[in-house]
Structure 1
């Protein structure tokens, strides 16, 4: 634990709570749009590993149609809708995640929470990303988002774990806003989002 960590948590609570209140009208509108275009449920809920690998329920706006083999809706590219693509490219789908920040599941800045099934695929060094709370945005996201490789992402995650401080967090938030405006690195080269992580060479 670093001296900055309690300060970081305080910032998460104050800023996260304020952001939840300020974005409530926008979130209400987005919920109606998702309900009309994608149907129910409006929110996407999925278990993710957090600090120390503890499992929590991540909450976001839903961006994809439910899988349906009879209609050919299986792959992410087939299930993604124009509304969903817009929400992802603008990161508006992340607004409900502020509740995870206020609750303490996540931080505003940190390594992104990935899938539970990835836990046993990490090298010991990569697993260090769970030494801190996962973030709504992070160093890997502002260093290329989904346009960089998994190994490059994990290097950035560990760099953040080792060097986290207020100035770095402020820099990441500012760079995140720039990336959202430019909509850079939303997808990997051949995927709607990012290909599955199958493990690195040990």
Structure 2
């Protein structure tokens, strides 16, 4: 981070989204909250009706992870993406052989409304830490209702066929890492994996900040 950024953080401190302590020169989260975010690899999410193989996350959607996701997504705390992305990247096993990072896309209308795509910011941070490109390989073919307002099979129907690979995109040799903020049922990530597979992708791993009840 730049010296100017450090100075601004010191002069204009704000509370840590995780615990409320003043951040001072720290960015995103205080050192205590950041240190408590331990990336872990699971073979699948027990919350997903369609198992997500080789999932890395920072834990369940509660406590610090929940507050951090909400601050990033709804509070405009974009500097959190770098911190969370770095923590996620630390949990990606080298043996996965990730060659590119792909964010879950928002529909253009939703992105214009929010001003940014939180998954893209996270994916950029993860990619930078891994030393691989961040590739916007997917696009939404239609606007969908917010997944948080859907239940069970409704989520699967809501996103079925809602994603496709960008025209002309070719999957690199090796694995891809698909990045999103929260995994709830796995419907969105499953639809994205299907779209990548249809475009020729091989192994697709998943990284999310949290898994559990989404927002």
TM-score normalised according to structure 1 size:
0.29
TM-score normalised according to structure 2 size:
0.28
Which of the pair is proportionally richer in helix?
Answer: 1
